[in-house]
Amino acid sequence: MSDAYAPPNDPLDVIHADHEVLIVGKPAGLLSVPGKGPHLADCLIARVQTVFPEALLVHRLDRDTSGVMVFALTPHAQRHLGLQFEKRQTKKTYVARVAGKLAEKTGTVDLPLIVDWPNRPRQMVDLENGKAAVTDWRVVRAGEDETRVRLYPKTGRSHQLRVHMLALGHPILGDPFYATGAARDFPRLMLHSENLRFRHPDGGKGMSFTSKAPF
């Protein structure tokens, strides 16, 4: 992957907005928050704030990942949602296309992760010093060369799904950090945040939002 940052110019994809929360679909290739330096200033929260100036960050998606993201529209909502993410009370579902054919139909990867300092932002499995990371997975459709899977992260570590799939021997297609050879030769990372469930900050009602995978 080249270092040139050329985010897509897709119009803002508003899935839901009310007095407390805003749900948007993030395109692949766009940072969630600004990077270091003016060339990395264009990001989802900046675009959101041009329409919803009061929007506040709650969580992030990797630059290369697309899909559902929630922003808070009040400080109360930001605290409320932040705690739900921290206490792992939110439920996230991702769709991915991975290299190769998964033999099993379902499984769980329980491998602790730590930043690979010399190669950051890459992460790696470290059984002694890593932070707990758990991902459930389920095959949607298996071909000979690739498998479509749903991923259910139980923790929210950086690059968790990408490293866990790599650890299974099935890197996510198009992954600029972890895929090699033909598996890397795709126009984007084949990872999409399909569904997000959380409790509404005003009253605690369960909410569920879905964004269809574009691949």
CA-nearest of 37, 145, 32, 18 to 77 is 18
Query: The domain 13-90+199-205 is classified under which CATH number: 3.30.70.1050, 3.90.1510.10, 3.30.2350.10, 3.30.1600.10?
Result: 3.30.2350.10
Is the pLDDT confidence value at 7 over 90?
yes
- The string of pLDDT tens digits covering residues 186-210 is 999 999 999 999 999 999 999 999 9
Architecture of the structural domain at 93-191: 2-Layer Sandwich (3.30)
- The string of pLDDT tens digits covering residues 42-87 is 999 999 999 999 999 999 999 999 999 999 999 999 999 999 999 9
Of the chain, the end-to-end C-alpha distance in Å amounts to 20
Give the pLDDT confidence score for residue 2 in this predicted structure: 46
* 13-90+199-205 and 93-191, same CATH topology: yes
- CA 15, chain centre distance (Å): 17
- The string of pLDDT tens digits covering residues 92-112 is 999 999 999 999 999 999 999
In percent, how much of the chain has pLDDT > 90?
98
CA distances from 104 to 5, 109, 147, 166, 197 (A): 38, 13, 11, 16, 27
What whole-number distance in Å separates Cα of residue 100 and Cα of residue 143?
8
CA distances from 124 to 23, 98, 128, 164, 214 (A): 31, 18, 12, 9, 28
Catalytic residues: 62
Give the pLDDT confidence score for residue 32 in this predicted structure: 98
What's the chain's average pLDDT?
96
Domain borders along the chain are 13-90+199-205, 93-191
Q: Structure pTM?
A: 0.96
